Amino acid sequence: MIGGGRGAFIGGVHRLVAAMDGEAELVAGAFSSDPERSRASGADLGLDPQRVYADFAAMAEAESAAPPDQRLDFVVIVTPNDQHYPAAEVFLKLGFNVVCDKPLCMTLVEARRLQALVKQTKLVFALTHNYTGYPMVKLARDLVRTGHLGNLRKIVVEYPQGWLSTPLERTGQKQAAWRHDPKRSGMAGCLGDVGTHAENLARYITGLHMQELCADLTSFGPGRALDDDANILVRWEQGVKGLLHSSQISAGELNALAIRVYGTKAGLEWHQQRPDQLITKYLDQPTQIWDRGTGYLPPKIAAVCRLPAGHPEGYLEAFANLYREAFRAIRAQVAGKPVPKDTDFPTIADGVAGMAFLTAAVTSGRAGGKWRRVPR
Amino acid sequence: MIGGGRGAFIGGVHRLVAAMDGEAELVAGAFSSDPERSRASGADLGLDPQRVYADFAAMAEAESAAPPDQRLDFVVIVTPNDQHYPAAEVFLKLGFNVVCDKPLCMTLVEARRLQALVKQTKLVFALTHNYTGYPMVKLARDLVRTGHLGNLRKIVVEYPQGWLSTPLERTGQKQAAWRHDPKRSGMAGCLGDVGTHAENLARYITGLHMQELCADLTSFGPGRALDDDANILVRWEQGVKGLLHSSQISAGELNALAIRVYGTKAGLEWHQQRPDQLITKYLDQPTQIWDRGTGYLPPKIAAVCRLPAGHPEGYLEAFANLYREAFRAIRAQVAGKPVPKDTDFPTIADGVAGMAFLTAAVTSGRAGGKWRRVPR
Amino acid sequence: MIGGGRGAFIGGVHRLVAAMDGEAELVAGAFSSDPERSRASGADLGLDPQRVYADFAAMAEAESAAPPDQRLDFVVIVTPNDQHYPAAEVFLKLGFNVVCDKPLCMTLVEARRLQALVKQTKLVFALTHNYTGYPMVKLARDLVRTGHLGNLRKIVVEYPQGWLSTPLERTGQKQAAWRHDPKRSGMAGCLGDVGTHAENLARYITGLHMQELCADLTSFGPGRALDDDANILVRWEQGVKGLLHSSQISAGELNALAIRVYGTKAGLEWHQQRPDQLITKYLDQPTQIWDRGTGYLPPKIAAVCRLPAGHPEGYLEAFANLYREAFRAIRAQVAGKPVPKDTDFPTIADGVAGMAFLTAAVTSGRAGGKWRRVPR
Amino acid sequence: MIGGGRGAFIGGVHRLVAAMDGEAELVAGAFSSDPERSRASGADLGLDPQRVYADFAAMAEAESAAPPDQRLDFVVIVTPNDQHYPAAEVFLKLGFNVVCDKPLCMTLVEARRLQALVKQTKLVFALTHNYTGYPMVKLARDLVRTGHLGNLRKIVVEYPQGWLSTPLERTGQKQAAWRHDPKRSGMAGCLGDVGTHAENLARYITGLHMQELCADLTSFGPGRALDDDANILVRWEQGVKGLLHSSQISAGELNALAIRVYGTKAGLEWHQQRPDQLITKYLDQPTQIWDRGTGYLPPKIAAVCRLPAGHPEGYLEAFANLYREAFRAIRAQVAGKPVPKDTDFPTIADGVAGMAFLTAAVTSGRAGGKWRRVPR
């Protein structure tokens, strides 16, 4: 694991969910850019001090020399955004499969370089857009793909949070601090942090890429260099219209990722804060609420439900579903077999699409809200 | 009453709610552009045939000659949009108070002419943006105005419907037909019909005018000349950002007008389909749900609740609240007294603001989504 | 109108909803047991002082002598419970149709006498269990009757309120005072006031009479002579089991009447505080939410919807539906025609069933919670 | 682990949640009463075949002879109910800490024997009433205990399920089969399976024991020997009244455990299917919704939240919280230290209370619904 030391949030989540199915074990890490903190974090986790490194470069070098039976099957990169590219690059070049937090990297150029590297090395690269791991998101995709909604017309996707309503980054709160530091976070603030999840969710469910967008980005927090609020008009492929908005200054909102998709025959609605239910609405019949874990779900959706209906699943199970699918690919790669075609996890292509979205949105926002094409 | 004959929807609502408090009685009308239908509608309503007219001009002429004790206190205009201006103009000129359906008229020029006429005649002009009649909308305004949310930052207001997902206007359905006929509906389709309610709601609660907007308008229905879907980025006064979207092709949505307003301290949320509750959310305390009719409401909000808490009020009571306030003004005007300063109903100024919004949005949309200033 | 003077709640509701469809006009009343208050209330309502009476006996005598064209079509009794029987009896005997608030009267003996009188006079007697006027309650009944749920097994019906959590009756609050005065309220407190609505709702939807019950009644309020909380096990006809609970000390609850009915194939759920929606749940398909006003409702349910879907209806519209149906019967009676067979409003038979329920429950409660048969 | 072999549900849950915090590892088991199935299950789990046993007696004997450094810290009993007592007894007698599924055993006599044994051996005994592991349930308890609701008056606790609406036990479905076999399930069906969770939840939150109850138990499923529906009036300590109902034939319900508690000042409401929120309602202020993971929670509640607010937790995290607390006690016991006083998990005393409830309810039900004291 690269990053995820003391004081981090998402590192611990990765460790927990990667282990949830008993398929992975943490054995080495460079947990912090501060060697002392890395060491201490490794000790917290009970690792062999020999395999706790001062930085990812040292780790890459040492671990690539490990004997085959001790060789890492994959590395997980959970650093602030600026380290994703260099860490991913070095590990890919040394032949390691990579699981990487989102957004993919700092620029679209970096993204395409990584994509080329993945293609060339034929390694597995998983990007943790974890919200697509929810079973009811997968059901939403299935309903859209099988024509349940008719031809699509409109998407409304949103990700409001309120935790940065105050200038939390000035209090030394670690997660707020790096997210509003352009050097570590990159070109975008809330848009990179949560807006990319919204873009990914919409694309996952509908299969549609954005073609053009027009973004109004604002930094409400005093002195913030990056956006903490983003409102975007979007034109997706196939004439689908709609909007995406994300925010970290929507006071009182927790983690309110939600999506609505409308077609000619029906609409659907999903809320991350009630993840076990998918709502579908019709022109001429009652609204339906589909519950996770029920007997009427299509078999491939039922297969990703861990608990019976009415026994709530949450964030961790969804995240673990992503890992479970990535592991199917990684196991095949490690065994020298072809990666199964039906694995279902976000890949380097999702990372490139996310960076293309971010680039277009930030460019649009900086131009005061001009329409920009989203590169493919 | 002008318009509202057989087959109309909103005319019957006006008749019911205007009478709900026993303060008004319908005595005359020109219910349709078809004289025969007007006559028949008048007969349905049990009116004196002498006071049922073939058109509004005839009605205006005849009624203005009525003896003082039979003189109409006000007229209600509930025709398709194209008749609002000519009907309002003729009645105002003859000294009648006017209650008029929204949107105000066909163009901003017309709107300003009516505004000048109202100013000059000192008559009462009420515009039936009825959704601001809900007690919990009034509470939302009160909370915003008293600083409960802190300084405002963001507004998300939306009005999705799905009833025009199919080309209903081609089936002869009367309400669909005129709404998608530019001659009767004007420059906009769903944006005029429901988008103006959304603009009005946001302005009513926050007191903020739109400054600039960027609109993406679409006609999904085959052969439609007017928009049936609108997605708009908005910059309000005082640096408030956000978006407004309205639709009549959001399949499965009924009448889902909703608003969220976020400030530095708190956010609020209201849904027209659950009108008796207002939700407020905080940075550091539990979410609150305020129920209509409860003892903890401010006295002026309590005063507009007709039923005890837990006894649902709906659309009609809210609409009747608008009339009740308009009647306070009309009674004063008829009695030759000054109109009370604290009446709370949408006026000609709201109509002008609505037409300014419509004009800017349609202009922006026609330009492919360019930012446009909203005239004041 | 008998009762419903200044300070009353339900009288005003009756006046409003009886007039909502323009079918009735208030012309006479004995509004209070205090002649002065009656007079003042009549003046408030703009009635001819000649037709405002000091008591219902005087009113009955005078009005029965009115010329045919001025004769009252019906009287409405909205007094405290103790006056229902004497008032109803005198008016029925003089040939007037009666609309009466619930519970029907003070004892089962009185109830049966009224039933005999109604049978003998062939007059219309409507009992205002208004909650059965909601369209979605009628849909619930329709679904049950047409076998949508399969064979019924269980009913859970509840009516929690919290407004008597404190001894409000000691503060002079008029509505609290009479409800906890056995002389005016009768044998039961919250059970008569709201529990009877719950019994009626369950019977309306399922068609099932209670056979046996076991009641635990409590008076939590200091010094209260009557129950303010009731928990009852119920055995309905056809082997259906379940429970009914009602309360006025459930702190924080408003008017939370709700019912769940379960059959072999499906269950349903309705909440008075969200009256426009009915929820149905299945063994093997998604939960459904049925919205009032939609196109997929059976025609007879659609016929009682006053507004399009998404435009909330509430308590008043439901109450007015009851009156509308009663008026169909009253019009026929007044015209000397047979009362239509398909009218849908609570009758004297519902009143008798309600009193039978109350009697059994109070008897059970007083015996410390013994099973009692519910008389038929 | 005793039980929990192939085809079981809850065994897998125990394995997952016990390991969630990295504090426990499965090393031995007797997974089935069928030795071959036990062996196969152990192999599925990757255990040393030497430590996979044909039955719990063999396991107890062999494992008690293990060298100290390999000695089991605790055993987990997840068999059908009939094996709980014999398995627990043998392991306790041999000095092992025990985690046992609920209900505790088959009779109150067995329960008291186990209680005596636990007392005598000073071993840790944890009973997995897992629903009390939810943070918002703990908040509910905290609010009640600190007087937020005032003096308690009423409890409504319910646990409806619908999965046994059809005679699933006749299809060979393993979980349905043993639950409706009196030899394996004991004296009660749904009441033991889910009703005991409801009793435990109410007691956990309020601290109140049941004093008397009156139960109406029914077996709707054809040929069922045990109840599949239970409706119970309850009198708790301190004059608190209310009811408990549980069902497995409430068609369409999933796992709808819910509780409402009312006091003199406020009420609270919690629903297992939306576990991250607690609702509190007041006499004179807005309803509050408390979200798990927020900054305003008391520190001891915050301490049991694993994820930030808005990132849903579910059934597994709650269950793991129970294990985490039990492990605090087990670690102390194994280390020969005093068990901390502030551990928060259900113990043998909860098991005894649950069996006392079951015994009283079944006795009451068999007597046709007579009041019975609940033994202490």
ipTM of the complex: 0.96
pLDDT above 90: percentage of residues in chain D: 94
Candidates C280, C285, C289; nearest CB to A296: C285
pLDDT above 70: percentage of residues in chain B: 100
Handedness of CA D23, D26, D30, D34 (dihedral sign): positive
Q: Which residues of C touch A288 (CB under 8 A)?
A: 286-289
Q: What is the radius of gyration, based on Cα positions, of chain B?
A: 20
Pairwise CA distance, residues A330 & A338, whole Å: 10
Q: Which of A132-136, D145-149, D172-176, D297-301 has the lowest mean pLDDT?
A: D172-176
Neighbours of C (≥3 Cβ pairs closer than 8 A)?
A, B, D
pLDDT in tens, D36-85: 999 999 999 999 999 999 999 999 999 999 998 999 999 999 999 999 99
D243 forms bridges with which residues in the sheet?
D156, D233
Closest CA to A18 of A94, A68, A77: A77
Candidates A19, A20, A254; nearest CB to D310: A254
User: What's the token pair of residue C246?
Assistant: 């009602």
Q: Which of A13-22, A42-51, B70-79, D318-327 has the lowest mean pLDDT?
A: A13-22
Distance from CA of D154 to the nearest CA of C (A): 7
pLDDT in tens, B49-77: 999 999 999 999 999 999 989 999 999 99
In sequence order, what are the residues at sequence separation of 6 or more whose Cβ sits closer than 8 angstroms to the Cβ of residue D46? none
Candidates A253, A275, A307; nearest CB to D312: A275
pLDDT at A174 over 90: no
pLDDT in tens, D272-308: 999 999 999 999 999 999 999 999 999 999 999 999 9
Closest CA to A270 of A129, A139, A127, A102: A139
Strand order of the β-sheet with A74-77 is A74-77, A97-100, A125-127
Mean pLDDT, residues C300-307: 96
Pairwise CA distance, residues D166 & D220, whole Å: 9
Position A9 confidence tier, pLDDT thresholds 50, 70, 90? confident
Mean pLDDT, residues A27-34: 93
Hey, is A353 helix, strand or coil?
A: helix
Q: Specify the pLDDT at position B203.
A: 98
Cβ-defined contact of A291 to C288 (cutoff 8 Å) = no
> Is-contact C119 C148, C-beta < 8 A?
no
In sequence order, what are the residues at sequence separation of 6 or more whose Cβ sits closer than 8 angstroms to the Cβ of residue C117? C89, C92, C93
**Which residues of A lie closer than 8 Å to D, measured between beta carbons?**
9, 13, 16, 19-20, 22, 161, 253-256, 272-276, 291, 293-294, 306-317
User: In degrees rounded to 5, what are phi and psi of residue D190?
Assistant: -65, -30
Mean pLDDT, residues B225-235: 98
Pairwise CA distance, residues C129 & C272, whole Å: 13
Hey, is C361 helix, strand or coil?
A: helix
Q: Specify the pLDDT at position A8.
A: 83
Pairwise CA distance, residues D183 & D61, whole Å: 26
**Which residues of A lie closer than 8 Å to B, measured between beta carbons?**
149-150, 153-154, 156, 158, 160, 162, 165-166, 214, 216, 218, 220, 229, 231-233, 235, 241-243, 245, 247, 249-253, 260, 262-267, 280-283, 287, 368-369, 371
Neighbours of A229 (CB within 10 A): 26
Q: Specify the pLDDT at position A121.
A: 97
Say if strands B152-160 and B241-247 run parallel, antiparallel, or are unpaired.
parallel
Say if strands B266-271 and B277-282 run parallel, antiparallel, or are unpaired.
antiparallel
Cβ-defined contact of D284 to B291 (cutoff 8 Å) = no
Position C297 confidence tier, pLDDT thresholds 50, 70, 90? very high
B235 forms bridges with which residues in the sheet?
B212, B241
Q: Which residues of C touch D155 (CB under 8 A)?
A: none
Q: Specify the pLDDT at position B301.
A: 97
Position D175 confidence tier, pLDDT thresholds 50, 70, 90? confident
Q: Specify the pLDDT at position D8.
A: 83
Pairwise CA distance, residues C295 & C298, whole Å: 8
> Is-contact B343 B329, C-beta < 8 A?
yes
pLDDT in tens, C157-198: 999 999 999 999 999 888 899 999 999 999 999 999 999 999
C-alpha distances (whole Å) from C36 to each of C6, C29, C31 are 11, 13, 10
Hey, is C177 helix, strand or coil?
A: helix
Q: Which of A109-118, B5-14, B238-247 has the lowest mean pLDDT?
A: B5-14
Q: Specify the pLDDT at position B33.
A: 87
> For chain D, what is the mean pLDDT?
96
> For chain A, what is the mean pLDDT?
96
Pairwise CA distance, residues A282 & A289, whole Å: 12
User: What's the token pair of residue B158?
Assistant: 């939306």
**Which strand (E) or helix (H) includes residue D45?**
none
User: What's the token pair of residue B83?
Assistant: 């008749």
User: In degrees rounded to 5, what are phi and psi of residue D215?
Assistant: -115, 135
Pairwise CA distance, residues B365 & B358, whole Å: 10
Cβ-in-10-Å burial (0-12, 13-18, 19+) of B337 comes to exposed
Position D261 confidence tier, pLDDT thresholds 50, 70, 90? very high
User: What is the CA C277 to chain-centroid distance, rounded?
Assistant: 21
Handedness of CA A133, A137, A139, A141 (dihedral sign): negative
pLDDT at C23 over 90: no
Q: Specify the pLDDT at position A23.
A: 87
Hey, is B74 helix, strand or coil?
A: strand
Position D368 confidence tier, pLDDT thresholds 50, 70, 90? very high
Q: What is the DSSP string of C212-246?
A: EEEEEEE--STT-SS-SEEEEEEEEGGG-EEEEEE
Q: Specify the pLDDT at position D200.
A: 98
Q: Which residue has the tokens 């020109």?
A: B30
Cβ-defined contact of C286 to A295 (cutoff 8 Å) = no
Helix, strand, coil abundance in chain B, percent, nearest 5: 40, 20, 40
pLDDT at D159 over 90: yes
C-alpha distances (whole Å) from B110 to each of B115, B121, B351, B353, B355 are 9, 16, 10, 12, 9
Cβ-in-10-Å burial (0-12, 13-18, 19+) of C48 comes to exposed
Pairwise CA distance, residues B233 & B216, whole Å: 9
Q: What is the radius of gyration, based on Cα positions, of chain C?
A: 20
Mean pLDDT, residues D353-357: 98
Neighbours of B302 (CB within 10 A): 15
Q: Which of D20, D253, D273, D292 to mutate to test the interface with A (most CBs of A within 10 A)?
A: D273
Position D240 confidence tier, pLDDT thresholds 50, 70, 90? very high
Candidates D156, D166, D220; nearest CB to C245: D156
Q: Specify the pLDDT at position C175.
A: 86
Mean pLDDT, residues A250-262: 98
pLDDT in tens, D120-139: 999 999 999 999 999 999 99
In sequence order, what are the residues at sequence separation of 6 or more whose Cβ sits closer than 8 angstroms to the Cβ of residue A307? A293, A313, A317, D13, D314, D315, D316
Mean pLDDT, residues B342-364: 98
Pairwise CA distance, residues B239 & B241, whole Å: 6
pLDDT at C7 over 90: no
Hey, is B195 helix, strand or coil?
A: helix
Q: Specify the pLDDT at position A238.
A: 98
C-alpha distances (whole Å) from C313 to each of A286, B272, B303, C160, D331 are 18, 11, 20, 22, 60
Q: Which residues of C touch A284 (CB under 8 A)?
A: 294-296
Closest CA to B200 of B99, B351, B342: B351
What count of Cα atoms within 13 Å lies in the side-chain half-sphere of residue B323?
23
Q: Specify the pLDDT at position A134.
A: 98
C-alpha distances (whole Å) from D182 to each of D81, D186, D189, D194 are 10, 5, 8, 16
Distance from CA of B363 to the nearest CA of C (A): 30
Q: Which residues of B touch A283 (CB under 8 A)?
A: 162, 165-166, 251-252
Pairwise CA distance, residues A73 & A66, whole Å: 11
End-to-end CA distance of chain D: 31
Position A243 confidence tier, pLDDT thresholds 50, 70, 90? very high
Per DSSP, C192 falls in state I
pLDDT in tens, C226-243: 999 999 999 999 999 999
Position D370 confidence tier, pLDDT thresholds 50, 70, 90? very high
pLDDT above 70: percentage of residues in chain D: 100
Cβ-in-10-Å burial (0-12, 13-18, 19+) of D32 comes to buried
Question: SS3 string of D167-221?
Answer: CHHHHCCHHHHHHCCHHHHCCCCHHHHHHHHHHHHHHHHHCCCEEEEEEEEECCC
End-to-end CA distance of chain B: 31
